[in-house]
Amino acid sequence: MAAGQGYIEFSTGDVLTATAANGYLASQVVMVFAGSTARGTAITSPEEGMFSYLKDTNSTEYYDGSAWTAIGGGGGGKVLQVVQGTLSSNTVTTSAVYVDSGLTVTITPTLATSKIQVIAMLQSAYPTDTAGGSNCLAEFNLVRNSTQIQNTIVGTGSLSFGGGYKPRYQVSFSYLDSPATTSATTYKIQMKRNTGSSVGFDGSATAINSIVVMEIGA
């Protein structure tokens, strides 16, 4: 599609050529699409200065030469979408290396310039020391796809407990991420034992573990 050619005032009898129609009209209107996927299918090679309106996010965007950027109602620090993942069952592992806990959520950002606010909460996390002893510790990891972005260690040290002791903790994560993509992005919680015999967290219908991601317009 041709780049916009600016403003022209047609006179009676002027011939409207394809070049003029593309340059003065088609490239300079605000095009309306159901969402960014439909826009990407329709416009494979956008030109700098194009405008579009997306119905799913009620946002008006312009192409700055490298990416679609929100203006007006769709950007400026506003929440564009919210996705939640939950886990209400018990989960446990004896692994000494990080493994997926099953608590996960996937979001597809509408803009590469957006930030993703991640908030995760484990209601009743614990390390277990079946043999008794000291330094009963567990590690939890917040991951984007396969990249670690935040971790924490919970447990007790310098004390001895009987076998099967489970100190309980509420574990939370809060992180403002900049994935710089419009591809599907997965955030998840991993866990491993640090010392002790196992690590896990409980869940039920009334004690739901959750991970929430919010797309924030730049």
pLDDT on residue 28: 66
| pLDDT value, residue 74 | 46
State the pLDDT at residue 73. Answer: 47
For the cut 50, the answer to whether the pLDDT of residue 79 exceeds it is yes
Band of the pLDDT at 176, cuts 50, 70, 90? Answer: very high
From CA 198, how far away is CA 135, in angstroms rounded? Answer: 13
Q: Which of 3-7, 54-58, 120-124 has the lowest mean pLDDT?
A: 3-7
Per-residue pLDDT at 206 = 86
% of the chain at pLDDT higher than 90: 39
Of 76, 77, 34, the residue nearest 57 (C-alpha): 34
What integer pLDDT is reported at residue 86 of this predicted model?
Answer: 96
Among the listed residues 104, 117, 123, 115, the one whose alpha carbon sits nearest the alpha carbon of residue 171: 123
Closest CA to 125 of 134, 142, 138: 138
pLDDT top residue among 50 and 141: 141
pLDDT digits (tens, 9 = 90+) for 8-45: 677 888 888 887 777 767 666 788 888 889 999 988 88
User: At residue 197, does pLDDT exceed 90?
Assistant: no
Q: Which of 56-65, 138-147, 155-164 has the lowest mean pLDDT?
A: 155-164
Q: 15 or 4, which is more confident?
A: 15
Please tell me which residue, 209 or 136, carries the higher pLDDT value: 209
Distances in whole angstroms, Cα of residue 168 to Cα of each of 70, 101, 114, 175, 195: 44, 17, 36, 23, 15
Give residue 157's region: left, alpha or beta (phi > 0; psi -120 to 50): beta
Residue 133 per-residue DSSP state: B
Distance, in Å, from the CA atom of 12 to the CA atom of 208, rounded to the nearest integer, reads 70
Task: Please check the confidence at residue 50 and state whether its pLDDT lies above 50.
Answer: yes
Band of pLDDT at residue 163, cut at 50, 70 and 90:
low
H or E stretch covering 144: strand 136-144
pLDDT class of 128 with cuts at 50, 70, 90 = confident
The DSSP-derived string for 56-103 is TTTEEEEE-SSSEEEEGGG-TT-EEEEEEEEE-S-EEE--SS-EEEEE
| 8 A C-beta contact, residue 137 and residue 154 | yes
Whether the predicted pLDDT of 53 surpasses 80: yes
β-bridge mates for residue 133, sequence order: 161
Output the average pLDDT for the chain: 84
